[in-house]
């Protein structure tokens, strides 16, 4: 194979369709090699990050519940060296007053380039607000500086994410890249789509009735609780309803909860539970103590 075609295997070397077609049979091999190198680099970049660097987002269940991962600014620091990211033409940070009293934002603009793919992005923005979480205990010049620094970190992160294509990575891709290492997607942080703040931190969902949900008769999936919204009352629906759009499954929540509570009360009256061991009278024969029904 001539040296030229070897050089063209590097995705960082510019080429045109004309040049490639002149190489005839070798062109396909060159394109395949370039694609493989890009893929290898992407996997290597993901392997260089930690689960804590990623924030997971989940689409609504009715849209399929797909989970994608977003590489946070701290994670971008780890992949910049691999992609050969450059950040340049940076403007001075601009302070913008917020709508709330005392609140402000910093915005900074810059351009970027990836040496590896030769892609450029121009006039990207990075910004942070004084109301962001990391500013909670800061005030005065300390707060100003923290927001300004975070805006620059966000600009570097935005450029890196854009050029490296790590803004929205399917969770399955993370799992595959971390195979053979101790890194697990379960350790990634949860963001939008994973319920309330309490739920994201592992707590129970707020406002969801504490009764077993109805089961969708069409796909046997437990129904999802949908809280009341505007004029619409709360209801249980199938989270996979897009898979059987012609077969509706909607159960009014109030009626379902009432039925379940009544059934539970009836069950409790017919077969009371021992207060010592929480076992129903019908199954208490094997217990090592007397049934406590008081």
Closer to another protein by Cβ: residue 146 or 238: 146
Under the criterion CB under 8 A, does residue 238 sit at the interface with another protein?
Answer: no
Residues within window 7-26 making contact with another protein, judged by CB under 8 A = 7, 9-12
Closer to another protein by Cβ: residue 34 or 284: 34
Site track for another protein across 270-289, x = CB under 8 A: --------------------
Find the farthest-apart pair of alpha carbons in the chain and give their distance in angstroms, rounded.
92
Dihedrals phi, psi of 18, to nearest 5 degrees = -60, -45
Q: Judged by CB under 8 A, which of 15, 26, 27, 33 binds another protein?
A: 33
Angle between helices 73-83 and 140-164 (to 10 degrees): 50
Dihedrals phi, psi of 205, to nearest 5 degrees = -65, 140
State how far Cα 210 lies from the chain centre: 27
Closer to another protein by Cβ: residue 89 or 292: 89
Q: Judged by CB under 8 A, which of 23, 27, 61, 82 binds another protein?
A: 82
Under the criterion CB under 8 A, does residue 39 sit at the interface with another protein?
Answer: yes
Under the criterion CB under 8 A, does residue 86 sit at the interface with another protein?
Answer: yes
Beta bridge partners of 56: 69, 190
Contact 124, 110 (CB under 8 A): yes
Dihedrals phi, psi of 237, to nearest 5 degrees = -135, 165
Q: How far is the CB of 139 from another protein (least distance, A)?
A: 12
Closer to another protein by Cβ: residue 18 or 92: 92
**What is the β-pairing status of strands 120-129 and 189-190?**
unpaired
Residues within window 116-175 making contact with another protein, judged by CB under 8 A = 116, 141-142, 145-146, 148-153, 156
Three-state SS string over 188-212 comes to CEECCCCCCHHHHCCCCCCCCCCCC
Under the criterion CB under 8 A, does residue 78 sit at the interface with another protein?
Answer: no
Q: Tokens 């709330």 — which residue? A: 100
Which residues contact another protein by CB under 8 A? 1, 6-7, 9-12, 33, 36-37, 39-41, 43-44, 47, 77, 80-90, 92-93, 108, 110, 114-116, 141-142, 145-146, 148-153, 156, 177
């Amino acid at each position: 194979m001539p040296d030229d075609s070897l050089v063209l295997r590097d995705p960082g070397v510019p080429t045109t369709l004309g040049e490639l077609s002149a190489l005839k049979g070798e062109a396909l091999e060159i394109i395949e090699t370039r694609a493989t190198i890009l893929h290898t680099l992407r996997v290597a970049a993901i392997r260089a990050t930690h689960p804590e660097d990623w924030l997971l987002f989940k689409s609504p269940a009715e849209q399929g519940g797909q989970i994608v991962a977003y590489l946070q600014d701290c994670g971008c620091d780890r992949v910049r060296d691999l992609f050969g990211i450059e950040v340049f033409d940076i403007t001075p940070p601009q302070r913008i007053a917020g709508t709330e009293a005392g609140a402000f934002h910093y915005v900074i603009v810059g351009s970027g380039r990836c040496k590896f793919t030769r892609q450029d992005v121009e006039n990207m923005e990075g910004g942070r607000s004084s109301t962001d979480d990391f500013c909670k205990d800061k005030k005065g010049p300390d707060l100003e500086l923290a927001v300004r620094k975070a805006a620059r970190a966000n600009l570097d992160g935005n450029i890196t994410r854009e050029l490296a294509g790590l803004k929205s990575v399917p969770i399955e891709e993370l799992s595959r890249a971390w195979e053979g290492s101790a890194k697990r997607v379960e350790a990634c942080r949860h963001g939008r789509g994973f319920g309330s703040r309490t739920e994201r931190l592992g707590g129970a969902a707020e406002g969801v009735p504490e009764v077993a949900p109805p089961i969708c008769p069409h796909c046997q999936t437990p129904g999802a609780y949908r809280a009341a919204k505007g004029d619409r009352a709360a209801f249980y629906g199938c989270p996979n309803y897009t898979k059987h759009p012609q077969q509706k499954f909607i159960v009014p929540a109030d009626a379902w909860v009432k039925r379940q509570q009544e059934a539970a009360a009836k069950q409790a009256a017919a077969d009371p539970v021992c207060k010592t061991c929480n076992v129903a009278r019908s199954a208490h024969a094997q217990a090592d103590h007397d049934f406590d029904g008081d």
